[in-house]
Amino acid sequence: MAEAIRHLRKGAADEVPFQPLPTTSLRKDSPLRILCVGEIRHPALIGYLRERGIDPAVAGALCREVHYAVGERRFFAIGFRNDAGGWELRNPQFKGSSAPKNITTFDRHGDTALLFEGFFDLLSLLTLQHEAEPTADTAVLNSVVNLPRALPFLACHATIHAFLDNDEAGRLTLERLRSALPGATVIDRAESYRAHKDLNESLRSSAKVSRTPRRRGRKL
């Protein structure tokens, strides 16, 4: 993590060149401006993904390397696009988004849906499943305040698996989901990682344990 932060502090001069891709413009009054979007190539961002237990190949299928500016300063981050064209942005020093803020959905035309609070939890599940993209209908809130926006999509499903955070906001969101969709079966998947804040923290904990070398016993 420290090495990734050092790379990010060096700024645009040390950025690895990449082919820009088309991107939507922000509102003129937004202080954060998207400059360009491309494949995830910068070593600092790849290191950041690995530090969080995410397979870079999985992230590469759903996310992009986004370069943005705040005032005259330039930055870059892992970007996850929402349904309205805005970006969720993450790097070791920044957690934010560009306008417009919205949910992200993947429609596979099934009767079961997966619900996540943030995109790193979706990437965590895909890493665990060794899948590049969701195979089931999926909604990422990108913030629990966006639950009302996700309800029309979720209402089309008989069963919803909720991978929410183990905190007060996560519990309230689960209650509101069940209250808003009484006809659906809502399964609290957070029970499987109750000892951790969220699915990504559980993944990182498991990865750390698997990397810990075992001590050899003394020979008698």
16 and 36 fall within a common domain: yes
Number of other CB atoms surrounding residue 5 within 10 Å: 14
Question: Which residue range(s) make up the domain with 111?
Answer: 104-209
- 217 located within any domain: no
CA distance 50 to 174: 29
Among candidate residues 14, 23, 76, the one with its CA nearest the CA of residue 45: 76
User: Could you tell me if 93 and 8 are in contact, meaning their C-beta atoms sit under 8 angstroms apart?
Assistant: yes
**pLDDT the model gives residue 79:** 98
Phi–psi pair at 105, nearest 5 degrees: -125, 150
**Cβ proximity of 35 and 68 under 8 Å:** yes
With a cut of 70, which residues of the chain have pLDDT below it?
A: 1-30, 208-220
pTM: 0.83
Q: Are residues 116 and 198 in the same domain?
A: yes
Establish if 219 belongs to a structural domain.
Answer: no
Residues 80 and 114 in one domain: no
Q: Determine how many CB atoms are found less than 10 A away from the CB of residue 70.
A: 13
Is there a domain that residue 216 lies in? no
pLDDT digits (tens, 9 = 90+) for 164-181: 999 999 999 999 999 999
| Overall domain count for the chain | 2
Whether the link from the prior residue into 100 is cis, omega within 30° of 0, is yes
Give the integer Cα–Cα distance in Å for 157 and 59. 26
